[in-house]
Structure 1
Amino acid sequence: NSFCTLLASRPGTMDAPTCLALASNALLEGNHGAACEFYEVALKLAPNNVDVLEAYGEVLLHHARDPDRALQLLRHAAEVCPDEGHVKFGNLAQLTHGKESLGYYAKALTILRKDLARSKVREDKEAIRRSIAETKAAVAELYLTDLCDEPDAEEQCEKYVREALSSCSTCVDAYQALGSLRLTQECWPDAKAALVRAVELCTELEEALQPPYEARVELGKLLMQVSPRRAFEWLRAVLTLDPQNAYVWFLMGETARMRGKFHDACRLLKHARFSTGDPEALAEIDNAVRVLVEEMGGAEAVAQVPHMDQPNPLDFLDDDDDDVTDDDADSCATDSDDDAA
């Protein structure tokens, strides 16, 4: 663009460190577009600067939603600096699949172990141990997804979850991975305990230690299978971070249906439907609506739901006094919640 062209044509006015600082300031202000402009200038000035490559790659991955360009820059960063900087290898693992992803996680862990051995400051050691735990939790998740067909997938998943919690007992990702594993094993009480602990940690830890937004949504989705009421409470908190997220509205509607809160479900699913234009999302919502209408006994029952035209369904939520699906009833084996799952 013209901004990048102007700065790049006047090399004496800007250098890579200055561009990095300006990009960081733009990110702090939430201006991702401006940050990318400064990174582009920095990249033209110093195409092999690993700080530029890593920082820009991470922004492209997590904010600009350009995974192909992020992969290109981060692979180049790994070539320029293969033995330091675990973050780029963790990001590369997220951008790749299967054994390639596993290899990048292994490289990240190797670097983290070296960093831990060199570290002398207690706070630094704690931060590194947390990073090790988060990386091992990511490996565990890999064995639940891409590598689930490996003959030792379950054993490896157990191993990495256990090691993650050993490295850091307050790692949200580790408890979430443990809960996901227990769900696949149909160990409902253990799954619930792990996922509830993940939610508790999210409320206790400072914001810098919180999992990313997408992981918080996934946590709510997992928790729905063993504790719909807690899942609803959690998703409602997640919604405050992005009130326009149609998928969270949809999950809340589904959770309300699972709890027998049909009026809430109607209003929430309607709100979700009017919050998105994505064809796949609309198809998923419409399928949920069909299930809800059937469970309610037909369209006539839906027509009797009050406050359907109100803009905010959260203003008309039913009381929880008659909510029998959670939590006392599911404290033994989550019978009613298991049926819902």
Structure 2
Amino acid sequence: MGKRSKKPIKPNTSAAAKAKKTKSSSSGGSGTAPKYTVEDLLVKIDGLMETFEFEAAQQFCERALQINPNHPQLLDTTAAILLELGNPDQAYEVLCRAVEISPDVGHVKYMYLGQMCAGMEGAQHYIKGLSIMESLLASQSAAASSQAVAAEEVCAGYCSLAELYLTDLCFEEDAAVRCGEFIAKALHLCPDSPEALQMMASFRMSEGNSDEAKQLIVKSVDSWLPSPSEQEASAYAAAKADEDEERCVPPYPARVAAAKILIEVGEHQRAFSVLDGLIDDDDEVISVWYLFGWAHYHCDEKSDSRTYLQKAKELTAKHECDDEAMLTHIDELLAELGPESDNEDGGQDEEVMET
């Protein structure tokens, strides 16, 4: 089963969608005026991105760049498409050009650069982008601006910045203080944000405060995870996509991280529910089968644990994995569990092995 396609992150093109189309004059003109404006082409590009037609969208970007190679929004959009097409080096060049052209207007380029750059360089890009976003959010005219932002977008930016201080920058002298400050800002903007609550749970786990981490991750997951009755309903599978959108279900990697935290704080049943959903979306991810096995191990369900861990081990032959710690843990757990014995109760073995 392949991973579901997700809508790409892209710059706000609402202003382009509302722009009035300009036609070249047909009354005795030279005929050199462009048939379409950049705004017209951005509308077309936006539609192609919505339907994941990135190669066609890139062609329209190239045409638009011939009209105006220094259009800030067009440069942001071009970079987004290049990233979707797997051309990060070209995207980086375009984004750097956008920074040169318009360093203090437009946050999108900085948020992309924050994702692409490591360590302090990435953090500085996030901080610059968030500064612009905060100004827009506070501005009375932001709602009418092509660069308007929502509180949720700023919240997500602070979460991304906090994550840097939990990972790449964790050894900085003030890492813990800054990480806590950024998450606090995110929660101030959106107190019920699943992303911000989960980020705070991760932060509390790093501090060794598992009790508060448990409260936070449960609140986060319960805001989007379907209840057991909904999961068992006959119409659940058919309506899953619509429900996911309404519930703002986090992206796949965030749900994997949520499952890991749930296991660490002893919320195994919730973890199983999250992992079931992940398997439904993509059953070729090694870490998901590993987490399933690890959760069953914590529940002293040896047969199921062994089955899921063996499935994870099998997938390592099909997919590259650079998480050496996880691969080592899989081998250690399988060695500890040993071969299956006759007195073990089988759980989901047959179903898993047929997946």
Contact 1:267 1:313 in 2 (8 A): yes
Q: Percent identical across equivalent pairs?
A: 29
Report the residue type matching 1:48 in the other structure. Answer: N
> Whole-Å Cα distance in 2 between the matches of residues 278 and 143 of structure 1?
29
Give runs of aligned pairs for residues 154-165 of structure 1, distance below 5 A.
154-165=176-187
CA shift, 1:84, in A, is 2.3
Higher percent of residues as helix: 1
Contact 2:165 2:178 in 1 (8 A): yes
CA shift, 1:65, in A, is 3.7
The corresponding residue for 1:219 is 258
The corresponding residue for 1:75 is 96
**Structure 2, gaps ≥5 residues long:** 1-32, 227-243
Of 164, 175, 193, the residue aligned with 1:153 is: 175
Contact 1:262 1:292 in 2 (8 A): no
Going from structure 1 to structure 2, the CA distance change for 1:119 and 1:256 (only over 3 Å counts) comes to farther
Give runs of aligned pairs for residues 228-239 of structure 1, distance below 5 A.
228-239=268-279
The corresponding residue for 1:144 is 166
Number of corresponding residues: 302
The corresponding residue for 1:254 is 294
Report the residue type matching 1:259 in the other structure. Answer: C
Structure 2 counterpart SS, 1:84: coil
Of 306, 314, 324, the residue aligned with 1:266 is: 306
CA shift, 1:169, in A, is 0.7
**Structure 1, gaps ≥5 residues long:** 1-10, 317-341
Give runs of aligned pairs for residues 1-341 of structure 1, distance below 5 A.
16-43=38-65, 46-61=68-83, 63-119=84-140, 128-203=150-225, 206-207=245-246, 209-226=248-265, 227-275=267-315, 277-280=318-321, 287-296=328-337, 298-301=338-341, 310=350, 312-313=351-352
Report the residue type matching 1:110 in the other structure. Answer: S
CA deviation string 1:32-68 (max 9, x = no partner): 444344444444554322222212322444x334332
CA deviation string 1:222-259 (max 9, x = no partner): 33311333222112223333344343233323333333
Structure 2 counterpart SS, 1:146: coil
Going from structure 1 to structure 2, the CA distance change for 1:253 and 1:59 (only over 3 Å counts) comes to farther
Contact 1:115 1:128 in 2 (8 A): no
Q: What TM-score, normalized by structure 2, do the two folds share?
A: 0.71
> Whole-Å Cα distance in 2 between the matches of residues 40 and 162 of structure 1?
41
Higher relative contact order (CA 8 A, sep 6+): 2
